[in-house]
Every structure is written in C-alpha cells, then in structure tokens.
Amino acid sequence: MASAEDDTVRAIMLHLAAADVDACRATCRAWRKLGSEEHLWRRLAADAFWPCGGDAPPEQPLAPLGDAQAGSAEGERAFAPSSVVEPALSWRAAFRCWRALSLYVDGGGATDAPLWMRISRAWAQIEGALRERAPTIESTLCRPTSPARLAQIRSRTLRYIYAVHDGQHLAIDRFMLAHDEEGVRDSIDSLWHGLFGGYSAYRHNVCMRMHPTTIAADFVAQLGSGLFELSGAERARAAERTGADAHAASDHRLELLSTSYGFNRCFAVDVLGGIYCRGKSGAWEAAGPSAASWFCEYARRLSSGFYRVGQVYGPLPGEGIVLFQDTVDGEWCTRAVTHGVEVVASALYTPEHPQAFAYSLRMRMRDDAPHACAQLFQRAWTIADGSVEPPRRVVGEGVVGMFPVLRRGGSYRNDEQVRNLAGRPFEEAVPPGSEQQGWFVYQSFSGAMSSPDGGHFGGEIQFFPGTVTQPEGPPFNVVVAPFRLAKPEFVF
C-alpha cells in the first residue's frame, strides 16, 4: 500500500524536469522505483514533446528509432533519425529517444512529436513504395542531413522532412558537375527519378526532385532571394489559413523543397508550414492546406497506387513516378469502353504552364473487341468551362499528329508527329509506324479555365476498323468520358 510519504514524493517529481527525476532515482531504491513509474514519464514526455493543446501522447509508449535502439544507454549520443517509430519498453525509454531526436532535429528545443510521427510515417510509406516498385529511385535517397544544417532550416516541417533524408543524388548529377557531356547523355533517363514525380506533354518535361539542403540553399542564393518571397496578399492568405500571429505572418521568405530540371516547376515552404507552387506569372500559390498534409498525402498516393511507376511518354524517354492519376474515380480519372476500345483519361493541374492543365489519354484494344485492330483517325473534344456557355468544341485529325493502329496487346504508331495531313494522301503522310506493346498513351494540354470552379473535358475519337486506307467496315466513335479540369486541393 502506498504511503503518504510516497504520494508526497510522487507529487514533487511531477514538477521536476527529467534530469532532476533521474537524479532523484539515484538517491535510494525507493525513489528509484517511484521515479520509474510510467505515468510520471508519460507526463514528462507530454510536457516536452506533445505541444500544449495538441494531441496527447498515446497510452502505450512510442519512440522514434535511429542508429540507437529505444531504451539504449547510448540514446542521446548515437542517434541518427529514421522513418521508424515503434513501441518502446517504457515511457522512460521512449523519453530518452525523443530527447535524442530533439537534440538532433531541434537543437534540444521543443520537438513536436505528433508532427514527427506524421512525417516519419509518410517517409516509411514512401520508402516502402519505392522499395517495391521503384528501387532505382529509392537508391537516390540520401542519408539524414547533419544537425548543423537542420538548424539553418526555419520551417519545422521542412526540417523534419530533411532529418530523415537529405534529398536525392541522381545518376546524372556528377556528370553535370563535371561537364561530362557523354556521361550526361548516358544518364539522361535519371532526370525522371525525381521523388515527387513528373509528366511530359509535347516538349514540356517536368520531374520534381528533392534537393539536398546545401544545393537547395545554393539555388536560392543564385536565383536571388526575391524569387522566394511571398507577396503581401500571399502572406495575408497564409496567416488566415494557419491562424498565425502578425509577427509570424510578417516572415515572407520561402525555403526550397524541390524543383524540376530547368526550374520550370518549383515547390517551397514557409515558416508557418505552408507549401507553395510557383505559377507561370512568378506568383506563389498554395499547393495544399499545409506542407505536412501535402507530404503525407503524396506518401498515401504513392503507396496506394494512385500514381503509377513506369514509362513517362514523351520526347525524353525514361521511367519514373507519373503524376497523372492512375486510380479511376469517375471524376478526376475516368474510364469508358466502346466497341472494345478502352480509354482511361485524367488531367493534371500545371500552374507553371500557360495552358494550366495537361491531360493524359491511355487507350487499348481489349481482348473481347469485335475487331482485330482499328486505326484512330479523328478527335472531337467538348471542353466545358464552368458557367461559360456554350462549351468549346475542338475537332481535328489524329491526336498530337499521330494516327495509331490499336491491336490486341499493343499498337502500331508513327512517333514522327505529322501534325496534320496537309492535303497529302493518308498513306503518304502516315507511315505504318513501329510495333509497341501495351497501352497507346499520349499527353497534351487542354487550355486554362476562366471559371474558378474549373470545367470538364471529354468527347469522342473516331476509329476505322482495320486501317484508314483498308477499312474493314464503317468508322465508329469511341467515348472519352468527361473528367474534371479544376485546381485540386493538393498540387503535385
């Protein structure tokens, strides 16, 4: 039975710092027992690492793991952050690991444990998805950056992201630094190994890589800090969105997270934890509710198969994470099957491009199709722009200048874009093309929407059974089910 003296000691220990509790534990066997109680160390962990008013720590102890194991006597000296958060033997053991993490990522200051767990678990999802589906991209991830470099990052969310992996090193990097043109040519496909994915439409190629901290800082210095500043209106919107005080909102500097090669697309983070994408006009627009939610949502999408990993179709070959949605939901990504021809369609918001939206059409001849093959001849798009009436109608020959012949299992396509027939006989203007396996895929731009609610894109594609020059029946139309053209909650 607990004595009144024990209760008094417990009450006193609740008001002590962790180091003082440990000092008390060394006094005698009784105080050692009292100073090891779970509720005491859970309270100490809550005070130190769970922000006031935020989530309470879980009942069972959880600890961030790195080079040191939970409860290790070396916890504060041999810790390098990882994406692992696991149950610990006790709350005292967990406290030591959180303290070691705090020294590494926050210089011993207040560490936000709920935020760290969100970021580290997102990293674990990303690592798992890359390990399974894109090991080449996983191999580009760098080890954690140093505490000294982390101390220079003002955004806590960005600091926690870099604490697990200090960006990427792509195969092409060392050849570019050495000005080795042959090496650059041989490794050009690694430009598609960006962690945050990419797309290609016409000759517009984008793939978002995560830069190491030193290179990110150099980019900002070389390009001029003025490019990485929010306007007054952008700061006001950020403060309203986050509920920040006036002093915090006055800090308008941004820190770079990722860019595409050529800097045609860029993401940056502010001190309030907001994330922004740089638009074609040079203005920054919000890319998500917060940098943390943006990072976690990307991890969810990558791990769930929302984004596929594979060939990026376009003039610059390579394989990477493709940002066109791969999960059919009937709104942002649609599917339709007509006369055995299946078409999957989706769009991607592209604030850096004047056309504002890129779209992707994937089509194939199904095994149950009534025709052995069919050739695409003409397209007819209906583009609805919100409340603007009537919808715009776009009719033309081919798709991006190509007239593929779909067959079961693949297609024949001419990759030399003829643009249009220009009055020439079809067989002269459109060579048979080479044999390709799998889906026929192409990307293009649909045009910007004037309505704030966006619009829709859909239509029909005309095919000839057999080929255009040797038809095996009358032409038929294949439906492209309408999909949305609107700025989404998250921009990637």
Helix, strand or coil, per DSSP, at residue 64: strand
> What are the DSSP E strand ranges found in 237-369?
254-260, 266-270, 275-278, 284-286, 308-311, 319-322, 333-338, 341-349, 357-365
pLDDT class of 279 with cuts at 50, 70, 90: confident
Answer yes or no: is pLDDT of 68 > 60.
no
Give whichever of 18-22, 55-59, 161-165, 396-400 has the largest mean pLDDT.
Answer: 161-165
Based on its alpha-carbon atoms, the radius of gyration of the chain, rounded to whole angstroms, reads: 28
The percent of residues in the chain predicted with pLDDT above 70, rounded, is: 92
Provide the pLDDT for residue 309: 95
Question: pLDDT for 434-481, tens place per residue?
Answer: 898 999 999 999 999 999 889 999 999 999 999 999 999 999 999 999
Q: What is the mean pLDDT of the chain?
A: 89
459 DSSP assignment? E
What would the mean pLDDT of 335-346 be, rounded to a whole number? Answer: 98
Answer yes or no: is pLDDT of 249 > 80.
no
Provide the pLDDT for residue 27: 87
CATH label, 324-485, candidates 3.40.50.720, 3.20.20.70, 2.60.40.1470, 3.50.50.60:
2.60.40.1470
State both tokens at 225: 């800090």
Task: Please say whether the dihedral angle defined by the alpha carbons of residues 165, 166, 172 and 175, taken in this order, is positive or negative.
Answer: negative
Provide the pLDDT for residue 1: 45
Provide the pLDDT for residue 29: 87
Q: Are 357 and 350 in contact (CB under 8 A)?
A: yes
* Cα(338)–Cα(366) distance, integer angstroms: 10
pLDDT class of 242 with cuts at 50, 70, 90: low
Answer yes or no: is pLDDT of 248 > 70.
no
Answer yes or no: is pLDDT of 14 > 90.
no
Provide the pLDDT for residue 55: 77
Provide the pLDDT for residue 152: 94
Answer yes or no: is pLDDT of 115 > 70.
yes
What would the mean pLDDT of 40-47 be, rounded to a whole number? Answer: 92
Provide the pLDDT for residue 313: 83
115 DSSP assignment? H
State both tokens at 283: 């203005």
What stretches of 106-141 show up as alpha helix (H) in DSSP?
113-133, 135-138
Provide the pLDDT for residue 250: 58
Q: Are 369 and 340 in contact (CB under 8 A)?
A: yes
Provide the pLDDT for residue 73: 42
Cα angle: 287, vertex 309, 115; to 5 degrees:
40
Give whichever of 30-34, 260-264, 289-293, 309-313 has the largest mean pLDDT.
Answer: 289-293
The full set of domain ranges for the chain reads: 1-36, 38-109, 122-300, 324-485
Q: How many CA atoms lie within 13 A of 474 on its CB side?
A: 2
Answer yes or no: is pLDDT of 13 > 90.
no
Answer yes or no: is pLDDT of 48 > 50.
yes
Provide the pLDDT for residue 71: 42
Provide the pLDDT for residue 77: 45
Question: pLDDT for 410-440, tens place per residue?
Answer: 998 876 666 677 778 888 888 888 898 999 9
Task: Please say whether the dihedral angle defined by the alpha carbons of residues 15, 20, 22 and 27, taken in this order, is positive or negative.
Answer: negative
- Amino acid (1-letter code) at residue 416: E
Name the burial class of residue 5, with classes exposed (0-12), middle (13-18) and buried (19+) by CB atoms within 10 angstroms of its CB.
exposed
Question: Between these two residues, 32 and 376, which has the higher pLDDT value?
Answer: 376
Provide the pLDDT for residue 52: 67
Answer yes or no: is pLDDT of 200 > 60.
yes
